[in-house]
Amino acid sequence: MPERPPVAFEPFSEDHQAFRRTVREFCEKELRPHALEWDLAGEFPAALFRRFGELGLLGIRHDPAWGGSGLDYWYVVAYAEELVRSRNAGVGTAMLVQGEMATPIIGDIGTDEQKREFLAPALRGEKIAALAISEPDAGSDVAAIRTTARRDGDDLVLNGSKMWISNGTRADFLTLAVRTGEAGYGGISLVTFPTGVKGFSVSRKLEKVGNLASDTAVLYFDDCRIPRRWLLGEENQGFYHIMTGFQGERLVAAVTAVAASALLLEDAMRYGQERKAFGRPVASFQVWRHRLAELGSRVEAARWLTYRAADLFNRKEVSVKEVSMAKLVACDLAQDVAYDCMQLHGGMGYVVESDVARAWRDVRALTIAGGTSEIMKEIISKSAGL
């Protein structure tokens, strides 16, 4: 066999890999042992936010001036990939919302005062952050949100409701989308909203199919008064900022989907070699060898599509099409992988305490949250001029 040529594109340096090993060890030692317990309890200890903060995991790509590490996006990729080894998607969701979804926009367009008040304590894990965009009547159609922020002197007065908000029951502040102007996308603004404000309440915690340790809330705003200086970025430019922020959210979802799929396959191969039927390991039946070979190939294809999007994102190039493709392909694929891996586990796969059962429930959210697969197809077809 001739020697293989070196891989031309290797995103992870030795430093990235050393960081990856640290995150893996943390996830396997401190989080994994509690995966089932936290899932059954429907929450994890809030102290974990501070632990993640201490380890620098909430501010990987954030500005060191506010407590971040100022590292490149490949560190975030390594982090999100290893986070699935906690085997509790609820913890992963909460921490990724904190560091990668609710706060990057504050770092990008917030004032120094907003960074001091909201961003810095969030990166330390002292304040819990949530991203509140979706509403009972507006999920995919962000331009249809109805929560209003009316100007009153130097204040904004907020009324309305938000739904499916991750970290919502215990958030100290929200990165919140509100209507400040005309109907449609041109009348939306973002604000930083401290949840201690009078008139704010958590209507209820939603009981979900999976991601059980992550709290998902319905929020209510009744004449909530905040200073106008908590506007995030320019008034009525919120839609644009939300769409920009979605890229990071969707990319990290794709990375998570690929990593979760790879871990499901790793587990399934191990189980399939140990578990015997008709005197032989079930993984030795050709149907399973071929199924695993096919899924493994598709996961590898999704991984490199996702890395392509991550590379563009890391270089701050326009990556909307590639990020949407990666989210679509990786999150849809995770459904097939989870279904087949559960099937390979037979009856054990249907037992709640098994890792594969939890993963099967957890990955289901991936094609819905952060933009559905159908919306990804809308974006991709529009970018192709259709």
* Residues within the interface to ligand FAD (CB under 6 A): 97, 130-134, 139-140, 164-166, 211, 216, 365, 368-372, 374-375, 378
Nearer to ligand FAD (CB atom), residue 40 or residue 209? 209
Question: Which helix (H) or strand (E) is 165 found in, with range?
Answer: strand 155-166
* Nearest distance, CB of residue 137 and ligand FAD, angstroms: 8
Closest distance of CB 275 from ligand FAD, Å: 32
How far apart are alpha carbons 219 and 153 in whole angstroms?
A: 25
**What is the separation of C-alpha 354 from the centre of its chain, rounded to a whole number of angstroms?**
23
Q: In terms of CB distance, is 203 or 343 closer to ligand FAD?
A: 203
Q: How far is the CB of 238 from ligand FAD (least distance, A)?
A: 13
- CA 330 vs. chain centroid, Å, equals 13
How far is the C-alpha of 190 from the C-alpha of 171, rounded, in Å?
Answer: 17
- Residue 111 or 372: the one with the smaller Cβ distance to ligand FAD is 372
Q: Considering beta carbons, is residue 133 or 156 the nearer one to ligand FAD?
A: 133
Active site residues: 249
Residue recorded with tokens 């632990």: 51
Smallest gap from residue 163 Cβ to ligand FAD (A): 7
> What length is written for the chain?
386
DSSP code of 55?
T
The least CB distance from residue 17 to ligand FAD, in Å, is: 31
Which CB, 169 or 216, lies closer to ligand FAD? 216
- CA dist., res. 143 & res. 220, Å (int): 19
Q: Measured between alpha carbons, how far is 309 from 370 in angstroms, rounded to an integer?
A: 16
Closer to ligand FAD by Cβ: residue 159 or 343:
159
Minimal CB distance to ligand FAD: which residue?
139
Q: How many helices (H) and strands (E) does the chain have?
A: 13, 10
Angle, in degrees to the nearest 10, between helices 89-96 and 73-83: 160
For the chain, the straight-line distance linking the first and the last C-alpha, in angstroms and rounded, comes to: 46
Residue 341: CB atoms within 10 A of its CB come to 27
In whole angstroms, how close is the CB of 176 to ligand FAD at the nearest point?
Answer: 9
Please give the Cα distance from 319 to 302 (Å, whole number): 16
Closest distance between ligand FAD and the C-beta of residue 106, in Å?
A: 15
Q: In terms of DSSP H, where are the helices of the chain?
A: 14-26, 35-41, 47-54, 73-83, 89-96, 104-109, 112-114, 120-123, 238-274, 286-314, 320-344, 355-363, 373-383
Q: Which residue has the tokens 């992963």?
A: 92
Tell me whether residue 129 or residue 265 sits nearer to ligand FAD (CB atom). 129
Burial grade of 10 (CB within 10 A; 0-12, 13-18, 19 or more):
exposed
**Residue 94: CB atoms within 10 Å:** 27
- CB–CB of 191/179 below 8 Å? no
